[in-house]
Amino acid sequence: MARVNHDDPYLWLEDVDSEAALAWVAERNAETEAALASDPGFDAFAERLREVLDAVDRIPYTTRRGPYLYNFWQDAEHVRGVWRRTTLEQYRKDAPEWETLLDVDALAAAEDEKWAWAGARVLRPGHDRALVSLSRDGGDAVVVREFDLAARAFVADGFTVPEAKTSIGWIDADTVFVGTDHGPGSLTDSGYPRTVRRWRRGTPLAEAVTVFEGEAGDVSAWAWHDSTPGHERDFVGRSLDFFRSETHLLTADDTLVRIDVPEDAEVYAHRRHLVVTLKSEWLGHRAGSLLAFDLDAFLAGDRTAEPLFTPDERTALAGHSWTRHHLILEVMRDVSTRIEVLTPGEDGGWSRAPLADVPPLSAVGVTDTDPDVSDEYFLDVSGFLQPSTLTRGTIGGDSEILRQAPARFDTTGLTVEQAFAVSDDGTRVPYFVIGPDRSAGPGPTLLYGYGGFEVSLTPAYAALTGRGWLETGGTYVLANIRGGGEYGPGWHQAALGAHRHRAFEDFAAVARDLVARGITTPPQLGAAGGSNGGLLMGAMLTRYPELFGAIVCQVPLLDMVRFHKLLAGASWIAEYGDPDDEADLPHLLDLSPYHRLDPAAAYPPVLLTTSTRDDRVHPGHARKAAARLREQGHRVLFHENTGGGHAGATDNAQAARNKALMYSFLREHLGS
């Protein structure tokens, strides 16, 4: 193991808005701009990337609410975006007529605030009111305001919640469930709501009645009102950690009835069904299975389940969506998706049939359904070199192609293949290779990974990668390492806690395999990842520096001894371990890239990026690592956006510039 540094002279960089820290950030940003953005072609390059994001002919994905299809849209004219809606009849047209509900740019200008859209909860079934969330410059904390959809205006005396990491949802037109910052003791150690309260219109928020309360050590408490006609009911619960929770039915007299499923299972009610996704074996069913119970029978003690999906070694459930009479399953087999429809029988049992043909090495996803009313679905299909096609259909009826996204980059000579590397313990690790024919020899290659929180990386059309990297002759590789969800819960759990090194070993195995197959060489191989993927990049830098010619580390976790003390970090203890637990501290020190940095090591050049307004992963991780790397004499550039939250950008210009900096850095060090 590399030398472990226990001292930390850079704690002052954790003071996000201090004068000294921001001055340091400004100096580093200037250095990075001079190194990467001073080339005469940089601005044109960034603008070409922005064209992709601002393109007016990209698909406007929608959510159906009653007769309208709702969409949030950003482009060059609407930098902060507009919330808008249209009808299906209009949506079928090449140039639909949209009704603007809320212009965020106009609101930001009127209130002199850098508002960013953070979503809306629309009241069912009338769809005449919404609870709109807005964040300041892209952070996770939001303000909530009630919005009148008919008047297209905020309600002067409506529900309003000050800035916090708030959860809120409608019960009826005059009542909401709200979890927010009510003062001392109302938040968990992770900074999320610890209590759920029932708040009635016209009463002060402080007088809202507490209906459920979690513990300080939980991640959060939550509530949900099911407004399905004939199945109206309330549920409350608490997230014990990132992967364990408990759920209760809240009766009319506020009595709690525990939904007795494993803590690591995901559970919800849909009409008469109780739907359970397993993360571990239960009642003889495999981890990764999807089960349906009769809710009333379950509450009476009956544990008879209908298995809707049972995984095997090569398949995992990617998602599922209800229509009025059916259930649509998205299933991954070796990380490529297929889709099928399940239909419950009147006398029990479910029939199943395929819904759509999907090309190999592609991804398909249900973007929207309307489960209260119809069997309508919206389906998106794309691939690495295949722009999205959006289809609308009715199960058992006709389907129509509504939109086909145009090609954004030249795919001439590009191919896609899937391969498997063998990790240190013999595990076969899948990865996708997108790039030119390498018969002429190895070339610049970018390897991307994440490997955490059961997040799956699946095929998708990435126009920015196409324009920024593939068109310049580069190869792009997507690694499906352990820690993700590509093969279900077991694939994730194999890299939890003290076993995190397996995700690192998987990624290194892919890197070696790319070299062994002649696709690239170590000096031509770059790696990139963000957030938990930033931790992965820190591990590549400190554990496998000889495998890479350059590394891009975005909004990263890097200090694994203090992550739980910074912003939302305490919510990730279940993923990594607890630094305050003597049993976990040794492996966290071993995992921690910040503590492994070695002045004697030969590191490849690294670009570290973050955001001042990231209130999820603290910018101190990237700041401190950059400072220590500079102190040790390593080649490091650092760039911090003042806004953008965890995404690193709140508008398309900022997002395009971030990408341009990354690709310019990689081209400089890997060639093109």
Would you please indicate which residues are annotated as catalytic (active-site) residues? Answer: 531, 646
CA-CA distances (angstroms) from residue 595 to 148, 490, 590?
A: 52, 29, 8
Which residues lie below 8 Å from residue 413, measured CB to CB, with a gap of 6+?
436, 437
Radius of gyration of the chain (CA): 25
Cis peptide before 229 (omega within 30 of 0): no
Contact 250, 235 (CB under 8 A): yes
Q: How many whole angstroms separate alpha carbon 230 and alpha carbon 235?
A: 16
Contact 374, 323 (CB under 8 A): yes
Contact 626, 562 (CB under 8 A): no
What is residue 391's three-state secondary structure? Answer: strand
Report phi then psi at 416, rounded to 5.
-125, 135
Contact 479, 428 (CB under 8 A): no
Beta bridge partners of 331: 317, 338
Beta bridge partners of 429: 421
Residue spans of alpha helices (H) in 489-584: 489-493, 501-516, 532-543, 573-576
The dihedral built from the CA positions of residue 561, 564, 566 and 571, taken in this order, carries a sign that is positive
Q: Which of 140, 118, 435, 491 has the alpha carbon at shortest distance from 288?
A: 491
Q: Which two tokens stand for residue 21?
A: 């820290």
Q: How many whole angstroms separate alpha carbon 602 and alpha carbon 243?
A: 38
State the Cα torsion 385-391-395-396 to the nearest 10°.
-100
Q: Which of 138, 142, 191 has the alpha carbon at shortest distance from 645?
A: 138
Q: How many whole angstroms separate alpha carbon 615 and alpha carbon 594?
A: 20
What is residue 118's three-state secondary structure? Answer: strand
Q: Are strands 445-448 and 475-479 parallel, antiparallel or unpaired?
A: parallel
* Complete DSSP assignment for 554-566: ES----TTTGGGS
Q: How many whole angstroms separate alpha carbon 51 and alpha carbon 473?
A: 20
* Complete DSSP assignment for 617-634: S-THHHHHHHHHHHHTT-
Where on the phi/psi map is residue 562: left (φ > 0), alpha (ψ -120 to 50), or beta?
alpha
Under DSSP, the state recorded for 546 is G
* Complete DSSP assignment for 19-51: HHHHHHHHHHHHHHHHHHS-STTHHHHHHHHHH
Burial of residue 107, with CB atoms counted within 10 A of its CB: 0-12 exposed, 13-18 middle, 19 or more buried: middle
